[in-house]
Chain A
Amino acid sequence: DTGVSQDPRHKITKRGQNVTFRCDPISEHNRLYWYRQTLGQGPEFLTYFQNEAQLEKSRLLSDRFSAERPKGSFSTLEIQRTEQGDSAMYLCASSPSTRAYEQYFGPGTRLTVT
């Protein structure tokens, strides 16, 4: 396993711009999750995919946020019209169907909105 990878690792953007992050899960992991982590806090659940289906979304995921996993492999998280409050670390995790309770996290994408 090469682990969960995320791209980019860091993103600085101006308020109002759109950003897109990518997550590549561990191969053959059919479950994929997005979390957001702000400084001094634990990760907060955003959304969950099983294969290509988005099965759960947090209330934290406002209309400006959208996530996709079109082929059940990699996933993208887009934030439109970014706000300073969106500045955070965005974490992706994946888990296999046989051990769905074990989530393996990627290194995260740190977003800074200026």
Chain B
Amino acid sequence: AQKVTQAQTEISVVEKEDVTLDCVYETRDTTYYLFWYKQPPSGELVFLIRRNSFDEQNEISGRYSWNFQKSTSSFNFTITASQVVDSAVYFCALRDSGGYQKVTFGIGTKLQVIP
């Protein structure tokens, strides 16, 4: 069985602060994929990033960076110099090689960036 835990349900930061969203996952598979999605107030889920289990290289995209550590089963997401437009619910998700295409989402972390 696969499971994704996002322990932070809500986070508030002041604009320009850095913020890290935590994600811990569980799977029995050795091959799996991890994702982050953003859900702004409009409701549509926006794909941000995918990592596969055999590539632990961290990734940076603009103000976004991701830290994947298999040893701790974590896939954390950092926003640098946060902006009001970053306010949204962020979901971490996992797909393993079992089943066909089922993706298991965490409960989400609601980020509020205060101007």
Contact = CB atoms under 8 A, between A and B. Distances in A.
Interface of A: 31, 33, 40-45, 48, 50, 55-56, 58, 89, 91, 93, 95, 100-108
A102 to B, nearest CB: 6
A17 to B, nearest CB: 24
B91 interface: yes
Nearest to B52: A101
A41 to B, nearest CB: 6
B103 A107 contact: no
B101 A31 contact: yes
Interface residues of B, number: 25
A45 B50 contact: no
B105 A43 contact: yes
Nearest to B44: A107
Contact of B93 (A42, A50, A104, A106): A42
Interface in B1-56: 4, 33, 35, 37, 42-47, 50, 52
B101 A56 contact: yes
B65 interface: no
A58 B101 contact: no
Contacts of A50: 100
Contact of A104 (B47, B99, B101): B47
Contacts of A93: 45
Nearest to B32: A101
A42 B107 contact: yes
Interface string B92-111: 01010001111111111000
A6 to B, nearest CB: 10
A41 B47 contact: no
Nearest to B51: A101
Nearest to A104: B47
A50 B104 CA distance: 19
